[in-house]
């Protein structure tokens, strides 16, 4: 006989029901009571105390830990078919355990019963009402699904407990009234209701009747579509979940809604199935085109930013566009390493396109913005380390872009014609003239140079940026032997009259150089300091160009002399200092 402590909530009921509830024990204690009446008062008191202890639950009188009390409204014992399942709350799934029928007559005050974890001896002492083998479980509790005649169900939580913790499972098959009594084990009814099974079709539609893919039912992941589940009413609430952005036939698919039949059910990925039979639920999707928008910068590939849907994005940028919709994109002016890139045209999938933003893709397209490149100015710091009398040398800082080379230009005077002189590779940083010598006299031509950045990938060069570098002149020996140079110099300075001398001071000779922007009658004379003509060096018509003449002071005394040139309306004088 099992022993245990009665649950406080059922103690009064046990006492009220007294021995009437347990007829098998009632006749036993009644016989003992008769003997006590005819005999020893001490025995009477002993058995009276025993009856009180038993009826109060200190010693439990029942053999089965779980007893079925199945009666109709007239309190007649009824036979019902009972299916027992183990229920798993986390997945809302079940596994079948046993089935049997309750009896139309009682034994041990019940018409069905079972032992739990070998507690008690109901199976041997009350075999006529045994439902199934002893229920074995470990842990704090087990949840069972109890189904009666496939009409009514109950989710029953049965805790593990000490020996003798019993409970009664009361059920009326007519009214479906269900409850627990004498519940020393603290069993709990989690759910109950009419037993129903529902059949469903749950599927994906990726457009144009295209199915397949995957979906989720409850906690069951990555199930192939379609699914045809059958759920009992005890397993509610049941959920279905769509997987967004599935790749089907090479295209991403975007979830739009769940439909119940042909009517919207939910715009959420997950929803709860209705308790209705033979319902079709369909997850609807739209095809998505994964579009790539990128730059093509000469020498810099697809780097930099590009504007997509009004916002600057890092190139390359991926965008999902629903089939039939469009997007906006624009190239923007970029400057990288002092090279400016300006948008030129769009390519689509590697070929020129006449499409303009907004674009409507027809697949997983790639839109490429092609750019022109133009090198910009930088901290050039153009200088000349040449000494007076040396060919002019140029030095400069390297351009930040290693793809930039240099073109060197020269002008004689600020309004002279720019003349291209040479191309220099990146990494050199210096170049030396082959024509002009540095002068120490400001009366010689002021030479301006431009070391201009050149971007060979697009054959573009930077804006002109001439700087004053030095005064200089063409060495006489070069002028006399290089007719081509003379012509080039003439063209270079064809917009200005010019006259100068070098060296100055001199001993005993100096070279007077002059340039004519146009043909004219030239008169070039030298005077002493009081205005007396010493020599006439030139007295003839000259074509436009550059010329030089040597003034020899061998026979003259040291001092200041004046040269004067007159050509057409041009008149200019300068000082010469002879030092012996």
Average pLDDT estimate for 203-232: 93
Q: Which of 295, 294, 297 is nearest to 455 (CA)?
A: 297
Half-sphere exposure of 549 (CA within 13 A, CB side): 17
* 120-124, 263-267, 291-295, 405-409, range with the lowest pLDDT: 120-124
Q: Is 576 within a domain?
A: yes
Q: How far apart are CA 39 and CA 420, in angstroms?
A: 145
The pLDDT tens digits of the residues spanning 470-510 come to: 999 886 555 444 444 445 454 544 557 778 887 888 899 99
Helix (H, G, I), strand (E, B) or coil at 51: helix
Which residues are paired to 31 by β-bridges?
A: none
Asked if 76 contacts 44 with a C-beta cutoff of 8 angstroms, the reply is no
Q: Is 54 within a domain?
A: no
> Do residues 353 and 448 both lie within one domain?
no
Q: Is 433 within a domain?
A: yes
pLDDT at 359 over 70: yes
What integer pLDDT is reported at residue 7 of this predicted model?
30
Q: Is 5 within a domain?
A: no
Which residues are paired to 314 by β-bridges?
A: 305
Average pLDDT estimate for 112-132: 87
Indicate the residue among 472, 494, 516 that finishes a domain. 494
Q: Is 1 within a domain?
A: no
Asked if 441 contacts 472 with a C-beta cutoff of 8 angstroms, the reply is no
Instruction: Decide the pairing of beta strands 279-296 and 197-205.
Output: parallel
pLDDT at 5 over 80: no
- pTM metric for this prediction: 0.54
The pLDDT tens digits of the residues spanning 52-78 come to: 444 444 444 468 899 999 999 999 999
Asked if 348 contacts 296 with a C-beta cutoff of 8 angstroms, the reply is no
Indicate the residue among 462, 494, 526 that finishes a domain. 494
* 331-335, 338-342, 498-502, range with the lowest pLDDT: 498-502
More confident residue, 330 or 434: 330
pLDDT at 205 over 90: yes
Q: How far apart are CA 47 and CA 55, in angstroms?
A: 12
> Do residues 73 and 185 both lie within one domain?
yes
> Do residues 97 and 188 both lie within one domain?
yes
State the chain's mean pLDDT as an integer.
85
CA distances from 9 to 14, 215, 547, 557 (A): 10, 48, 130, 143
pLDDT at 3 over 70: no
> Do residues 155 and 278 both lie within one domain?
no
> Do residues 507 and 577 both lie within one domain?
yes
What integer pLDDT is reported at residue 501 of this predicted model?
82
Q: Is 51 within a domain?
A: no
What integer pLDDT is reported at residue 24 of this predicted model?
30
CATH number at residue 390: 2.60.40.10
Indicate the residue among 288, 308, 334 that finishes a domain. 288
Band (515; pLDDT cuts 50, 70, 90): confident
pLDDT at 354 over 90: yes
Query: pLDDT > 90: what percent of the chain?
Result: 65
Q: Which of 414, 416, 398, 417 is nearest to 406 (CA)?
A: 398
Average pLDDT estimate for 407-434: 92
> Do residues 391 and 506 both lie within one domain?
no
Q: How far apart are CA 505 and CA 519, in angstroms?
A: 30
pLDDT at 46 over 70: no
Q: What sign does the CA torsion over 310, 316, 317, 321 have?
A: positive
> Do residues 334 and 448 both lie within one domain?
no
> Do residues 397 and 480 both lie within one domain?
yes
Q: CB-based contacts of 149: which residues, under 8 Å, 6+ apart?
A: 80, 81, 173
What integer pLDDT is reported at residue 48 of this predicted model?
46
Average pLDDT estimate for 108-136: 88
Q: How far apart are CA 551 and CA 501, in angstroms?
A: 9
Q: Is 100 within a domain?
A: yes
Q: Taking CA 115 as the corner, what is the angle to CA 113 and CA 116, rounded to the nearest 5 degrees?
A: 130
Q: Is 19 within a domain?
A: no
More confident residue, 25 or 339: 339
The pLDDT tens digits of the residues spanning 549-566 come to: 999 999 999 888 989 999
* Total domains, the chain: 5
> Do residues 66 and 189 both lie within one domain?
yes
The alpha carbon of 279 is separated from its chain's Cα centroid by a whole number of angstroms, namely: 38
> Do residues 299 and 347 both lie within one domain?
yes
What integer pLDDT is reported at residue 535 of this predicted model?
95
CATH number at residue 148: 2.60.40
* Domain extent at residue 429: 377-494
CATH number at residue 295: 2.170.130
> Do residues 66 and 150 both lie within one domain?
yes
Band (121; pLDDT cuts 50, 70, 90): confident
Asked if 386 contacts 392 with a C-beta cutoff of 8 angstroms, the reply is yes
Q: What sign does the CA torsion over 545, 546, 547, 551 have?
A: positive
What integer pLDDT is reported at residue 567 of this predicted model?
93
Residue 367 main-chain phi, psi, to 5 deg: -105, 125
> Do residues 502 and 436 both lie within one domain?
no
Helix (H, G, I), strand (E, B) or coil at 151: coil
What integer pLDDT is reported at residue 120 of this predicted model?
61
The pLDDT tens digits of the residues spanning 255-302 come to: 999 999 999 999 999 999 998 999 999 999 999 999 999 999 999 999
CATH number at residue 536: 2.60.40.1930
What integer pLDDT is reported at residue 570 of this predicted model?
86
What integer pLDDT is reported at residue 545 of this predicted model?
85
């Amino acid at each position: 006989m099992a022993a245990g402590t009665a649950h406080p909530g059922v103690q009064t009921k046990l006492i009220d029901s007294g021995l009437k509830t347990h007829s098998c024990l009632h006749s036993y204690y009644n016989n003992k009571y008769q003997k006590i009446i005819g005999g020893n008062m001490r025995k009477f008191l002993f058995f009276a105390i025993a009856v009180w202890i038993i009826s109060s639950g200190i010693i439990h009188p029942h053999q089965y830990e779980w007893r079925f009390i199945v009666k109709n409204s007239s309190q007649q014992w009824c036979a019902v078919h009972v299916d027992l399942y183990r229920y798993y709350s986390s997945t809302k799934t079940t596994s079948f355990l046993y089935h049997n029928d309750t009896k139309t007559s009682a034994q041990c005050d019940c018409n069905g019963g079972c032992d739990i974890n070998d507690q008690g001896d109901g199976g041997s002492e009350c075999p006529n009402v045994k439902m199934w083998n002893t229920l074995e479980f470990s842990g704090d509790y087990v949840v069972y699904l109890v189904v009666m005649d496939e009409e009514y169900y109950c989710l029953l939580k049965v805790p593990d407990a000490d020996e003798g913790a019993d409970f009664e499972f009361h059920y009326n098959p007519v009214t479906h009234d269900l409850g627990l009594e004498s519940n020393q084990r603290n069993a709990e009814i989690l759910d109950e209701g009419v037993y129903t099974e529902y059949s469903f079709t749950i599927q994906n539609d990726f457009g144009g009747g295209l199915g397949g893919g995957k979906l989720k039912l409850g906690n069951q992941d990555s199930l192939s579509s379609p699914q045809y589940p059958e759920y009992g009413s005890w397993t509610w609430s049941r959920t279905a979940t769509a997987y967004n952005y599935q790749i089907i036939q090479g295209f991403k698919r975007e979830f739009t809604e769940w439909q119940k039949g042909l009517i919207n059910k939910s715009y959420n990925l997950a929803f709860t199935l209705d308790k209705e039979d033979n319902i079709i639920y369909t997850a609807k999707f739209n095809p998505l085109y994964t579009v790539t928008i990128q730059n093509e910068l000469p020498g810099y590939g697809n780097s930099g930013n590009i504007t997509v849907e009004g916002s600057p994005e890092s190139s390359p940028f991926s965008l999902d566009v629903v089939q039939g919709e469009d997007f906006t994109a624009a190239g923007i002016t970029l400057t990288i390493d002092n090279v400016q890139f300006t948008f030129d045209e769009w390519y689509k999938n590697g070929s020129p396109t006449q499409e303009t933003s907004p674009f409507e893709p027809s697949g997983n397209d790639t839109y490429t913005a092609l750019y022109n490149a133009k090198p910009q100015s930088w901290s050039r710091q153009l200088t000349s380390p040449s000494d007076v009398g040396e060919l002019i040398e140029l030095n400069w800082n390297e351009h930040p872009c290693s793809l930039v080379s240099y073109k060197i230009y020269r002008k004689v005077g600020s309004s002279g014609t720019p003349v291209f002189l040479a191309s220099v590779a990146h990494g050199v940083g210096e170049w030396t003239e082959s024509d002009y010598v540095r002068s120490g006299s400001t009366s010689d031509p002021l030479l301006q140079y431009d070391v201009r950045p050149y971007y060979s990938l697009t054959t573009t060069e930077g804006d002109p940026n001439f700087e004053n570098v030095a005064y200089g002149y063409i060495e006489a020996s070069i002028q006399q032997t290089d007719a081509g140079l003379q012509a080039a110099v003439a063209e270079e300075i064809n917009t200005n009259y010019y006259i100068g001398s070098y060296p100055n001071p001199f001993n005993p000779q100096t070279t007077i150089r002059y340039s004519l922007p146009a043909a004219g009658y030239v008169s070039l004379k030298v005077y002493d300091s009081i205005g007396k003509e010493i020599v006439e060096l030139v007295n003839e018509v000259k074509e436009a160009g550059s010329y030089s003449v040597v003034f020899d002071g061998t026979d003259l005394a040291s001092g200041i002399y004046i040269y004067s040139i007159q050509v057409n309306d041009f008149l200019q004088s300068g000082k010469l200092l002879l030092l012996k």
